[in-house]
Amino acid sequence: MSSNEGDLVVASQKGDLEAFNELVLCYQDRIYSLAMRILGDQDSAEDVTQNTFLTAYLNLPRFRNGSFRSWLYRIATNACYDVHRRHKRYPVLSIESEELDEERFLPLKDFSGSNTLPEMEVERHELEQAVQHALNRLEVDQRTIVVLIDQQDLDYQEAAQALRIPIGTVKSRLARARLRLRQLLGNSGGIR
């Protein structure tokens, strides 16, 4: 935890709402990205993000000199697991077809003056879709570890703290998840 972040946490624990708002601004995009990658649903990811910060705020007095980032990610992953269990128990059916939901349209973009060619943008978007689709096919514990380490840049120790599992378990889940991703992406013409 950086000294500035540590100061913000201490100030937040003393009731400084501005300090907590700075922590929210620092982490909200990362927490949303984590939830979106794990759950694959925008509304659920927004709810998890909001609930993560509410839970963190309410539990700040119990936070003790550790990694604030790991603590926050633990709250977020637990919230994602809760949503995942709830959806498993009570599936939500969409009126729209699954194909329409998977095929998100590219936003109209002005490529004049841009270094990115439209073809490259389409390829990048298709690759992102393939990776997200493959991630969604992983077991939730494997998906979570890939998102934490490969996309959120947590180290093994931080991921272990966030998930409350041993480092060895982090490494083995990550290895199995990466192998499964390679298989899934290889079968769909993705990255090998």
Q: Domain map of the chain by residue range?
A: 1-93, 95-192
CB 33 within 8 Å of CB 152? yes
What are the pLDDT digits (tens) for 120-169?
888 887 888 888 888 889 998 999 999 999 988 999 999 999 999 999 99
Closest C-alpha among 9, 4, 25, 7 to residue 62: 9
pLDDT tens track for 5-30: 889 999 999 999 999 999 999 999 99
Burial class (CB in 10 A: 0-12, 13-18, 19+), 85: exposed
| pLDDT of 92 | 52
Q: What is the DSSP letter of 2?
A: -
For all residues of the chain together, what is the average pLDDT?
83
DSSP code per residue over 56-120: HHHHGGG--SS-HHHHHHHHHHHHHHHHHHHHHHSPPPPSS-HHHHHSPPPPP---TT-SS-HHH
Handedness of CA 151, 153, 155, 161 (dihedral sign): negative
- For domain 1-93, which architecture applies? Orthogonal Bundle (1.10)
Q: Does domain 95-192 have CATH number 1.10.260.40?
A: no
Locus of tokens 């509410």: 54
Cβ neighbors of 20 (< 8 A, separation 6 or more) are: 8, 12, 57, 60
Instruction: Give the closest residue to 167 by CA, choosing from 176, 158, 175, 177.
Output: 158
